[in-house]
Amino acid sequence: MLTSTMTPAAKRVALRKALVPGAAAQMPGAFNPLSAKLIEEKGFDGVYVSGAVLANDLGLPDVGLTTLTEVAARAGQIARMTNLPALVDADTGFGEPMNVARTIQELEHAGLSGCHIEDQFNPKRCGHLDGKNMVDLETATKRIRAAAEARIDENFLIMARTDLRAVEGLAAAIDRAKALVDAGADAIFPEALRSLEEFEAVCTAVDVPVLANMTEFGKSELFTRDQLAAAGVAVVIYPVTLLRSAMGAAERVLEDIRDNGTQEASVPEMLTRARLYELVDYEAYNQWDTGIFNFEVPSLDIASNARTLHD
Ligand SMILES: C[C@](O)(C(=O)O)[C@H](CC(=O)O)C(=O)O
Ligand SMILES: [Mg+2]
């Protein structure tokens, strides 16, 4: 009720514990606080807060336009609504090393469990697009060192993302990943790898947990959890999956209303009123005021989601 019951410190410990090489812990991307509750209810290991989703949600492209204030605020809203640890995409860190240090502290104060910082130039691009511009090794390591030194809670996870694979190849990406670990990264996000063998090579080369980005319509195939676990991956993100699914459903129902004059045919696809109320724990709020949940919600078979509007 109201917020999660676990402290940010406890969630950070949970994230550290989940990040075991070969565990392939699954962290779907929450596009809002409510979807984080759904992710938790379905038994996932953590929640990812995607920079692409955050930007796209504002109607913006994912090119580094969002500010630290916007990202910390939205990620904080998401993090505090779930007992799962939340890992946020901090893009290029929002500036020079001193700004990166502030980014880490703001994200900690917002209740996040960790973040990743990448080695692209601003304006950055989605890691699965061509034409990325990379910063040099010195700048990349400075960002990570500043991040690691700035944290207050030693369990706040600093993950270094390298986008070098698509630009200079796997060997260069592995070299950079090692240097980023030496600079203080607790985990590595090798972006846009091409095969399971490449994941395996990175996992073998670095002695910290490795993340796999299973984003749709990108450069990586959509490998299964078992395949990634066998390659040694510690954590898997599905960053934009829920936003793409929700927006796909929204597009379909809008066309239904426009073309048929009613949404009736789309209702079976919808989350029911009862299910929605269950997710926001409506009933629990009666603890303060018994008048809050004293009405009838059409009782239905929540599991099959099979009712119609007229039930
Ligand atoms: C992981 C990612 O950084 C994100 O912002 O979610 C994106 C995802 C995407 O655009 O599909 C990425 O650069 O891979
Ligand atoms: Mg991103």
Query: What ipTM was reported for this prediction?
Result: 0.99
Looking at the predicted structure, is the pLDDT value of residue 225 above 50?
yes
Of 231, 246, 307, 241, give the one whose Cα is nearest residue 273: 307
Give the pLDDT confidence of 69-125 residue by residue, as tens digits.
999 999 999 999 999 999 999 999 999 999 999 999 999 999 999 999 999 998 898
Is any ligand 1 atom within 6 A of the Cβ of residue 190? no
Q: Distance between CA 218 and CA 52 in Å, rounded?
A: 13
Q: Each residue of 170-211: pLDDT tens digit?
A: 999 999 999 999 999 999 999 999 999 999 999 999 999 999
Phi, psi of 77 (to 5 degrees): -60, -40
pLDDT at 310: 37
> What are the phi and psi torsion angles at 166 (to 5°)?
-75, -20
**Which of 56, 189, 194, 240 is the best mutation target for the ligand 1 pocket, counting ligand atoms within 8 Å of the beta carbon and taking the most?**
240
DSSP assignment of 40-104, as one string? Answer: HHTT-S-EEE-HHHHHHHTT--SSS-S-HHHHHHHHHHHHTT-SS-EEEE-TT-SSSHHHHHHHH
pLDDT at 299: 56
For range 39-49, the mean pLDDT: 98
Annotated catalytic residue, options 45, 89, 186, 198 = 89
> Residue 13 corresponds to which amino acid?
V
pLDDT value of residue 3:
86
Residue 217 has pLDDT above 50, yes or no: yes
Whether 28 and 44 have beta carbons less than 8 Å apart is answered as yes
Distance from chain centroid for Cα 219: 18
- Specify whether the CB–CB gap between 175 and 140 falls below 8 A: no
Structure pTM? 0.95
Single-letter amino acid, residue 46? G
> Is 203 known to be catalytic?
no
